[in-house]
Structures are given as structure tokens and as C-alpha cells.
Structure 1
Amino acid sequence: MSAISETETGAHADSPWAPIIFDALQQANVRQVSYVPDAGHARLIRMCSAAENMKSIVLTTEEEGIALCTGAWLGGERSALLMQSSGVGNCINMLSLLASCRVPFLTIVTMRGEFQEFNPWQVSMGRATPAALEIMGVTTIRIDRLEDLAPMMASAATMAFESDQPIAILLSQSMLGAKKWLK
């Protein structure tokens, strides 16, 4: 059973980008994927959870994912963290671990606070996410068009796991489609 119990609506119901990211994670031999339950990543989470060669790990907060990715690397496995832009703020202190220890890190961030955002609480962190990551030494790659996703995911995985770099893929809200909530 999926850790996502919310009804998916709007553009997230299909998530045409999820199989592209899943394939890139498989090609990069990512064996652990961690996440705080989020409707935006729901399809990708289900795909990772169903994969026999991948372990999905539910987190209580996003910074746990940085520790998990570090532990996976030290244990000889590759890991990725899925999070929403609002979760980046929770990770600032833990991101220093990546630079200090030169740990490879790959995160896929669904952006909020942009295109057709309905929740004013998401706007500030959505605006701050790229700069917050970059200040902490994480290279950010923003994806605005679906056709750019596959080559950029492959590039990001190579940079992260072959060059021991912290890399964040930022999936723009205009590419994802606006989140909608049913009343």
C-alpha cells in the first residue's frame, strides 16, 4: 500500500514525468529512494515502491533523507531523496554534511509557489529554494520542459554519483501542472 493517501487530481494524476525519472534512477543504479509523503511525487513513489531492486523509505522530515543518502553511500548503495520545495528549508543544516564529507547526493524537488499556486504559504519557500540549495553548495538544475527531463536526469545522476557532487533537480510547477484540491 502506498504511503500517499490523498486523492490525486489535476496534472499530478498522470505525472508523465514520473516514468522518466524512474527510468533515470534505475539506469543510475539507485537502490534507495526516501521521501516525506507528497501527492506531487505519488506516482513516482508508487513506481519505486513496486520495483523489486529498489527500497522506498518513508521519512518524517526531509533532513532525515540527507542522512539516509549519506548512509547509503557509505554502505555502498546509491540513494535519492524526493521532496517538495517547502521541504528544502527543513534541510539547510543537514546540507552542510554533503559539502563537508563530499557525499554524492541526488534530490528531485517538485516546486511549489510558482505557476498557478493556490496556497500563499508555498510562495516564499518556492522563491527561496534555488538560492538556499546553491548557498549550501548544491548544484541546481531546473527543468521547465518535459523533453529536457531525461537528458538532464542522466546528467544529474552522473554528476552526483561519478563526481561526488550534491545535485538537485527542480521540477517547475509549470511543467508539473498546478496542484488542485477537491473540497
Structure 2
Amino acid sequence: MVSDTAEGADQSWRQDVFDVLKAAGVKHVVYVPDAGHATAIRLAEADPEIKAVVLTTEEEGIGYLAGAWLGGERGALLMQSSGVGNCINTLGLVACARFPFLAVVTMRGDWAEFNQWQNPMGQATEAALRLMGVMTWRADEAKDVAPLLRGAATMAFEGDGACALLLGQRLIGEKEWAK
């Protein structure tokens, strides 16, 4: 099992992710379980106004969000940077159908990574998203998460954009094997 450590670091951003999604009218939170998103996932699961859906793979979330939008509701995909690689082909649906897309991506292979298998996709995540037409912003400090996510949500839901906020590994904390 992998855990995040950020001793002494401001962890308020974890609550901010959920609060911004809720304030933006998100009714569906789809995710593959991830320690970096654990707070937002737990809060979404506990909120009776939000449907929290665990996925078997990240690209399923894109189809789910398209359906939610067609049904008149907003949703967001929570995933790790390694999951972006799983979504590349399916992001073509976002580009062709032009529906609002909002993703919050916890980064791996970014800083102090112990697992070399995370490095290739971690280093390619932002470029891959941009190549598929997704606008990206990056938060490495807790104070930046809420304003950047609010802006991304506005551009996605009010401007019919494809947007992703990348949560850097320095923000999340160094990954360690849990004992």
C-alpha cells in the first residue's frame, strides 16, 4: 500500500477540492481510488446530493461524465496521473462531442517518486492532456488549489471547456510504502 506524507504541510487543500466541486454544482464524482483524493472521495460518498462512482479504469469516467451532462448534471473525474494515459483515446470523445469536462489529477512521477514505473506517464501527463485539447493548471501549494479549481470549473461548466487541475506531488506529499 502507498501512503502520502506531508508532515507540517498545509492539508486544507484536500477539503478545498470537495468544497469547490460542491459549490460548482457537481452532482457526480467518478474516480479510481487514490490516496491523494481520499478526502474528496470520502466526502462525496457521504453527501446525499452527490453520486460517487468508483471506476475500474479512468476512461470509463469520461463516458459517464458525458452521460451525466446529457442528463443535465455536472460531474468531475478524480484520477492519478498514471490514469491520464488510460484516457488518451477516450479524450477524443470530449474533443468531438464538446461537452464540459473537469478532471482533478494527483501527480506521480513528479517529485521524490520512489516508483520508477510512475515516471514516464507522470512526466508526460500535462503535455498529453494539452495535446488532447484539455486546458491544464498546476497547484504545488495549498493556497492555489481552490482558486485554480474554481477557475477550471467555471471554464468547464460555463465555457464548455475541457479542463484539468494537476495537484503536484510536492502538494500531496512524498509517497511511501505503508507498513
Match of 2:73 among 73, 77, 80: 77
- Tell me if 1:100 matches 2:96: yes
Residues 17, 146 of structure 1: 8 Å contact kept: yes
2:29 is equivalent to residue 30 of structure 1? no
Give the CA deviation at 1:37: 1.3
Partner of 1:45: 41
Cα distance in 2 for residues equivalent to 1:42 and 1:154? 20
User: What is the TM-score normalised by the length of structure 1?
Assistant: 0.92
What are the residue-to-residue correspondences of 1:78-157 with 2, within 5 Å? 78-157=74-153
Unaligned runs of 5+ residues in structure 2 are none
Gaps of 5+ in 1: 1-5
| Cα distance change on mapping 1:56 and 1:135 into 2, 3 Å | same
SS of 2:166's partner is strand
Q: Name the CA shift for 1:124/1:32 in 2 (closer, same or farther; >3 Å).
A: same
SS in 1 for 2:78: strand
Structure number having the greater strand percentage: 2
Determine the structure 2 residue equivalent to 1:10: 5
Counterpart in 2 of 1:61? 57
Contact 1:15 1:43 (8 Å CA) reproduced? no
**Greater relative CO, 1 or 2 (CA 8 Å, sep 6+):** 2
Q: Is the 8 A contact 1:11 1:179 kept in 2?
A: no
Q: Distance in 2 between matches of 1:25 and 1:62?
A: 18
Shift of 1:9: 4.9
What is the root-mean-square deviation of aligned Cα atoms in Å?
1.5
How many residues were matched structurally? 177
1:16 Cα deviation (Å)? 2.9
> Which string of whole-angstrom CA distances, capped at 9 and with x for unpartnered residues, describes residues 106-126 of structure 1?
000000001111100001100
